[in-house]
Amino acid sequence: MTSPDAVPVSLAEIARIAGVGRAAVSNWRRRHDSFPAPVGGSDVKPQFALAEVEQWLRDNGKLKQAGGRELLWPRFETLASRDESGLAIAEAAYRMRGAAAGPGAPLLSAQARALVTETAEIGGREGPSETFDFLLHRWLDAHVRQISATPPRLASLMARIAWGARSAQGRDGTLTVFDPACGSANLLAAAASVGSGSRYEVLGCEADATLAALGAARLEFTGDARDVRARIATGDSLRADPYPDLRADIALCNPPFNERDWGYEELATDPRWVHGLPPRTEPELAWVQHLLAHLRPGGAAVVVLPPAVASRRAGRRIRGSLLRHGLLRAVVALPQGCAQPHSVSLQLWVLCAPDGGAGHGVADALLVDGSRHARPGGRGPDWRATEDLVLSALESLDRPAAALPHGAVRVPLLDLLDDDVDVTPGRYVAAGPEVLGRESVARWSELDAVLSSLRELGAALAPLDAAIPAQGRHSTVTVGELVRAGAVTLRPGTHPPESAEVFRDPREQSVPLLTVPDLLLDGSPSAWLSGDGHPSVAEEGDVIVAGVVRAFDAWVHQGPPVALGAQLFALRVEPGKLDAHFLAGCLRAPANGRHAGTHASSSARVDVRRLSVLQLPLEDQVPYSETFRRITSFERHLSRARSLGSALAHDLNDRLASGGPGAVG
């Protein structure tokens, strides 16, 4: 068994245990000689013995009230595998619930069983539900690359949609909720928390046995506040349906995307394919029909789907059948960042099983475009605006005469049932005139300010063309030579280590991860790492260089620290020898990148050490530095003006094409 003495913890983990920032822990190391000495790691990323850290924190009164949970997590990370740590967390949940043993107990090692016992004791003091939730979320965060969990806000929105869309009342006052690919039961738990005065029968299925165990344990706690009977089966719902006779009032699902091996051959004659055999390339439509097969009349299902499912030609026959039978009632386009993959505007399909005959008089479908409700700078969705739009639009699902909010439209089935049967909301939904008007006014105002700045910068930079001396008047020095002379420290970026915690949204004490693909997209980081989860972090004032020809650039980093991915480099200057803005301006010259480029691999890279820099005394670098800053600002304003101008031109074109005023004064 691994003792706490042998469990290594980082500075970031110590900060979490103590409930402080990492800077505070670094300060303790400097001020207190009694602070534990490192037992491993490196000077940059030291590791400490968990037992020594815990004792020091207790002795100095710096252990936060819920520190016991934080002390547990490093112990779980030392278990043999992802599966054992997950099963141990699930087993601890059963122990905290008072069971002698859970279903996963026989699979655990002696080390894991001892940790389960300790977890149950801490949970008794700090709260069983809170302790389990903490460990579950840390486990999911640690394995975010392998596991895609439905975020809580999206799960809650889906449950509320399904609750409002259903017309079935349940059997004997019991509402049956179903998820055939439930993962850790986020959707099932959300569904069981919606509504009032209901008893729930919650049924799920999950192919991953560890996730199934964690989901079942989670639902044990959900039953504390509500009358919930839960069961999660382990297996493949499509190939071996564990609930063939189930008819549910509510079905929710966030199925796996783009899986080609979903059972196309062996399920070719399956009776669930009422609306047609899903093509091999359309596994998502297999999940849609699987959900419909398990809905009772009046039941409702909400499923997360990639946007291509709404328009791919291979699925048009099934989409057409769903519309004709009145089953596909609404399609909602979500803003980017609602769930993995975060770079895609996912969709929600709302499916309803009619109470009466097929179609039940359905003449149209509701299309809602919430993709505009994303926060600027790639900071994820504006959840409040998204929820307000979607829920207010879906309130009118069975009230054809009800007014719809801007961003939603009813489309007659005759208009949808063409050769493409494309149900993408963006094809039919136009932003309301009030929204477009406010956006246009703001854009014109910003464009005017940007153009004014461009004129000022242009007036300052234009005379330089005549004043710049002929090339070759100054000698140059390479980055490699500057490194050897001690004027610059060069740190290459790299892929996050396997042990790093990767998040898709900012977390406390996390740092953004910047990669070359991010730069090629919009420059916004697409992932965040735990504070010490990366060996190369650029601080404010460092020069960052993108070492790939197609994204070649160099700039002085401003703002909080950022972790650098592969082919990005951080250069830290010695202040008495180099000016950072002067260095960045010299490095980013396009000719510099071409001269230092190499084609040693399939992608053209730049050898950063070969990049050249003007060799000037520090005092002579200052005027160059100021001019380089103006050039950078000039480029940034040009880019923004191009973006604003393009958006305004598109808006004007749309208005004219739809019959708006066409005369120019």
> What is the arithmetic mean of pLDDT over 378-399?
85
**How many alpha carbons fall within 13 Å on the CB side of residue 554?**
28
> What is the arithmetic mean of pLDDT over 331-339?
92
Dist CA 17 CA 54 (whole Å)? 9
Helix (H, G, I), strand (E, B) or coil at 127: coil
CB 192 within 8 A of CB 222: yes
For residue 297, report the phi and psi dihedrals to the nearest 5 degrees: -55, 130
pLDDT tens readout for residues 518-566: 887 667 787 788 766 567 888 888 999 998 888 888 999 988 888 898 8
Of 132, 144, 142, 274, the residue nearest 215 (C-alpha): 132
Dist CA 248 CA 357 (whole Å)? 18
Q: Which helix (H) or strand (E) holds 538?
A: strand 537-538
Amino acid 315: pLDDT: 93
Tell me, letter by letter, the H, E, C secondary structure of 55-104: HHHHHCCCCCCCHHHHHHHHHHHCCCCHHHHHHHHHHHHHHHCCCCCCCC
In this structure, the strands spanning 199-206 and 174-179 are parallel
Q: What angle do CA 551, 536, 70 make, to 5 degrees?
A: 130
CB 21 within 8 A of CB 509: yes
Dist CA 321 CA 44 (whole Å)? 61
pLDDT tens readout for residues 567-613: 999 999 988 889 999 999 999 888 776 766 554 443 578 888 999 99
The residues, any chain, with a CB within 8 Å of residue 185's CB and separated by 6 or more, are 179, 204, 214, 215, 216, 218, 219, 232
Q: Against a cut of 0.75, is the pTM above it?
A: no
pLDDT tens readout for residues 14-59: 887 887 777 778 889 888 889 989 888 777 678 888 888 888 988 8
Cα dihedral across residues 459, 465, 467, 472: positive or negative: positive
Of 447, 438, 253, the residue nearest 347 (C-alpha): 253
> What is the arithmetic mean of pLDDT over 168-187?
83
CB 628 within 8 A of CB 582: yes
Dist CA 530 CA 277 (whole Å)? 45
pLDDT tens readout for residues 60-87: 887 766 567 788 888 888 887 889 999 9
